Chains A and B, each alone.
Chain A
Amino acid sequence: MRRRLVSAAVVAVALSGISVPAAFAAGVSGQDETFLKGAHQGNLAEIAAGEDASKNATSACVKKVGAVLVRDHTKLDADVKTLAGKVDVTLPASPTAEQEKELAAVRAEAGSTAYDTAWLTAQETAHRKTLALIDQELEDGQNAEVVAAARTARPVVAMHLEMVRGGTCHEAEDAGTVGAGTGGHLAAADDSPATVGMVGTVTGGGLIAAGGAAWLLRTRRRPAGEN
């Protein structure tokens, strides 16, 4: 009996080893792994496209947007690489073949006025694909930190998409202000007791001072001896 159980256990372990190698190799699900790899390659592609724009774009706007892509995707990728190391996912060293082909096609327009439009159009497509990759992870991801990485990237990618929407360039300001309140309730909470106190004190004090001054003036004006 025991021998059968042992051999059954050995077979079970062997089978699990064969059937789910990916799950044992990495600490995360297939979906999480797909996202990390895709996010990394997307970041590499955006950095390459941004660097190309700074060389070959004809308008200042596209050059600026290119610089923003390089800056932001470098930051996002630093966190993706750290996380991949943490959960044992090996990242590819370069963008996908398709991404490289797309950049090559845009590069081919370098030196002509068609470059900027080609660049912007390619970027709009690329960012929509990245949003789809992110949304897939938000829907099906299992590892809390990988899902958080997707959530972290989403507003940045969405902001980039706005800059290239419709194949036209829309420059955006760097983050710099925080408008954090619209209700006016804080002002009301601060003001009322102080205002009431002020009004009371000033009125009371004013009445006393006015009364005193009036009496003093009256006595001064009357000749001595009268009451």
Chain B
Amino acid sequence: MTRRRRAAVFLMVCGLTVCGLGAVAAGWLTWSMTRARPDDAGSLPAGVHRAVSGDAREASAPVRVHGPAGLDAAVVPVAARADGDLALPSDPRTGGWWSLGAQAGAPAGTVLIAGHVDSRRGGLGPFAALHETPVGADVTVTGADAEVRRYRVTARRTYRREKLPTDLFARTGPHRLALLTCAGPYDRGSGRYARNLVLYAAPRPGRLPRPGH
């Protein structure tokens, strides 16, 4: 082999080695990034919303929640167990509304609606759709009075399960909707997810007035 040719081959192999190392690095980085928690996005609803008249009579207990990506679930009122954990229905197809929080369409406070992301036997449930719901998406909450209230997602956050913000459990503050489910990583040993995904949504104006009002 001529010297020149040998140099060319040498360079080519160097190039291949570098590419190979690059592929290793890229593969590892991409994998660790996709395993990381979903990015936080958007900003929390703030300030006073004049979307509803400010009258408490406009509020009603949530009975249904609906959104894009397959979010569609009946909702029942729930309270916390002795350990402070919300006693959600075990069937992931039904969500729980913290009944000491704000009602849908209330003048203030957080409407907290949560659902299991999955169950062992049933697989992923409708609340898994929260993971696919982007900032800017519209979500509706139907009350016991059959009125549909619209909200727009303004923020996505994840928190460690033990570090869920306490102001999610509040009837004061700007009126907002908080939709919760679990987020990874999943611990097979304890059978629990380590984090919560929270979608914050602000009320959207333009609800149709009830007939006769």
Q: Interface on A for B, CB 8 Å cutoff?
A: 72, 75-76, 78-79, 82, 85-86, 144-145, 147-149, 151-156, 158-159, 162-163, 170-187, 189-191, 194-195, 197-202, 204-213, 215-216, 219, 227
Contact = CB atoms under 8 A, between A and B. Distances in A.
Given A195-B31, A212-B13, A184 B186 contact: yes
A145 to B, nearest CB: 5
Contacts of B145: 144-145
Contacts of B57: 82, 85-86
B182 A181 contact: yes
Given A182-B192, A184-B120, 13 more contacts: A145-B144, A172-B82, A182-B119, A183-B124, A184-B186, A186-B186, A189-B124, A197-B30, A201-B27, A202-B27, A205-B19, A209-B21, A216-B14
Given A187-B185, A208-B20, A209-B24, A180 B35 contact: no
A190 B184 contact: yes
A120 B80 CA distance: 20
A186 B128 contact: yes
Interface string B74-92: 0011111111111110001
B191 interface: yes
A75 to B, nearest CB: 5
B17 A213 contact: yes
B98 interface: yes
Contacts of A72: 100
11 contacts: A75-B171, A152-B77, A152-B99, A154-B77, A155-B99, A179-B88, A180-B114, A202-B24, A205-B20, A209-B21, A227-B1
B99 A153 contact: yes
B206 interface: no
Given A176-B84, A177-B85, A205-B22, A156 B124 contact: no
A41 to B, nearest CB: 20
A182 to B, nearest CB: 5
Contacts of B13: 212, 215-216
Q: How large is the interface on B (under 10, 10 to 19, 20 to 34, 35 or more residues)?
A: 35 or more
Interface stretch (B43-51, B58-66, B148-156): B58-66
Pick from B25, B82, B171 the residue with the most CB of A within 10 Å.
B82
B103 A79 contact: yes
Interface in B112-159: 114-124, 127-128, 131, 143-146
| Chain B interface helix/strand/loop/mixed | mixed
Nearest to B161: A177
Contacts of B79: 155-156, 158-159, 175
Nearest to B82: A172
Contacts of A182: 116, 118-120, 191-192
A198 B34 CA distance: 10
A82 B59 contact: yes
A177 B164 contact: yes
Contacts of A162: 82
Contacts of A147: 144
A175 to B, nearest CB: 4
B16 interface: yes
A206 B63 CA distance: 55
A177 B98 CA distance: 11
B161 to A, nearest CB: 6
A148 B103 CA distance: 11
B80 A152 contact: no
B180 interface: yes
A100 B184 CA distance: 52
A159 B183 CA distance: 27
B26 interface: yes
Given A176-B169, A205-B23, A219-B10, A184 B191 contact: yes
